[in-house]
Amino acid sequence: MKRSEIATIIIEAKQFAQNLQVPLPPFADWDKMIFKNLSQNHQIDEIIDNRLGWDVTDFDKGDFFNYGLTALTMRNGNFNQPDKYPKPYAEKMLLVEDGQILPLHFHWEKTEDIINRGGGVLQIKLYNATPQEALDQTHQVHVVMDGVLKTFTAGSIIELLPGQSITLTPRIYHQWQAKPGLGKVMLFEVSSTNDDSTDNRFYEKMPRMSQVTEDIESEMLLVSDYDEFLNK
């Protein structure tokens, strides 16, 4: 993705949150120099180590508005440093553009609630994973939606209207799309500790983070920029 495209997407994400009256944490507005200055004396180790902040990806497909995701991780624990960061939970804001698809994947470790907080309608396709991590085309998928246990046939597409949620446990393949024509969707994800670098199993092999082309000098950092920028 181009850095200029990412910068515009983040600006529009913050505007969408403002329109839905969802205040964001202070670090959602920090520029590079604020990150740099606060990192000098370890004030923001939790933000850096646990990857709190912006994440914009097109999964290297080069077609963000059809395949992509904008995320703001607002709190998180850490699989690798549980003594330093004992939080067993994470929270994200996820924005899905009108018609945009999040590719089919599951998590080995993470259990997550996906909550439609406003905007359009989210469509989710569901499968169990086989022991070999293929799509289980036979067995029913059992999920909880807003406290109600529900059962669906493999490959079913369900819809989340604003206010509705679904709990996805490990090894449930899911693909979602903002229902075309109904607008962008704001999701919140409330989950167990999250590590996007190790806990995503995409059905079709693809990178979780995008390669970035530096066509402009942007003041905004993605979580994938932290290590390189802050260690300069």
pLDDT (tens digit, 9 = 90+) per residue, 132-159? 999 999 999 999 999 999 999 999 999 9
Calculate what percentage of the chain has a pLDDT beyond 70: 100
For each of the domains in the chain, give its residue range(s) and CATH number, in order of start.
Answer: 3-230 (2.60.120.10)
Instruction: Please enumerate in sequence order all residues whose Cβ is within 8 A of that of 116, keeping only pairs 6 or more positions apart, or say none.
Output: 122, 160, 161, 162, 163, 164, 165, 185, 186, 187
- Residues 76-86 have pLDDT tens digits of 999 889 999 99
Conformational region of residue 210, where left means phi above 0, alpha means psi within -120 to 50, and beta covers everything else: beta
Q: pTM score, two decimals?
A: 0.95
- Residues 175-189 have pLDDT tens digits of 999 999 999 999 999
Q: Average pLDDT, whole number, for the chain? A: 96
Given a cut of 60, whether residue 232 has pLDDT beyond it is no
One-character DSSP codes across 39-61 = HTTTTTHHHHHTT-EEEEE-TTS
The band of 110, judged by pLDDT with boundaries at 50, 70 and 90, is: very high
